[in-house]
């Protein structure tokens, strides 16, 4: 039905926008993770402290890395969902995916 097609195109458009937002969030997390790394890569700065705990920079870096991993999983799942929708070979779905990707990148 026409209403179902409009809803489908709208859902694909929103999924494409969300894909672009997740991609940008992943890039922001990468930048923060790189800033959390120690400036010096000497053995002393890379070695774990003898007290048994991890340093604050190492803990921050690990949290950013876990967050990046979760963002990557969400990005892959969304990408495959949009790809499967486009593989329906429906021109309107294809245009919805392109429009959503364009709007998501712009925003």
Across the chain, mean pLDDT equals: 85
Instruction: pLDDT band for 10, please (50, 70, 90 cuts).
Output: very high
pLDDT in tens, 20-65: 999 998 888 888 888 877 666 665 555 555 455 555 666 777 888 8
Domain boundaries, the chain: 2-44+56-106
Angle at 15 between CA 9 and CA 16, to 5 degrees: 90
Burial class from Cβ neighbours inside 10 Å (0-12, 13-18, 19+) for residue 17 reads buried
CA dihedral 63, 68, 73, 75 (to 10 degrees): 150
Give the pTM. Answer: 0.75
> What dihedral do alpha carbons 43, 49, 53, 57 form, nearest 10°?
-50
Nearest 5°: phi and psi at 52?
100, -15
Q: How far apart are CA 25 and CA 47, in angstroms?
A: 30
pLDDT at 87 over 70: yes
Element housing 84 (H / E): helix 56-86
| 55 or 8, higher pLDDT | 8
Of 6-20, 40-54, 82-96, which gets the smallest average pLDDT?
A: 40-54
Neighbours of 88 (CB within 10 A): 11
pLDDT at 77 over 60: yes
């Amino acid at each position: 039905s026409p209403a179902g097609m409009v809803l489908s195109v709208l859902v694909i458009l929103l999924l494409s926008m969300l894909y672009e937002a997740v991609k940008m969030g992943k890039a922001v997390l990468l930048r923060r993770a790189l800033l959390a790394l120690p400036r010096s890569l000497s053995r002393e700065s890379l070695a774990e402290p003898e007290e048994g705990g991890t340093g604050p920079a190492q803990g921050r870096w690990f949290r950013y890395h876990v967050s990046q991993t979760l963002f990557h999983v969400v990005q892959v799942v969304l990408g495959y969902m949009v790809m499967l929708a486009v593989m329906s070979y429906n021109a309107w779905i294809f245009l919805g995916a392109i429009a959503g990707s364009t709007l998501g990148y712009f925003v």
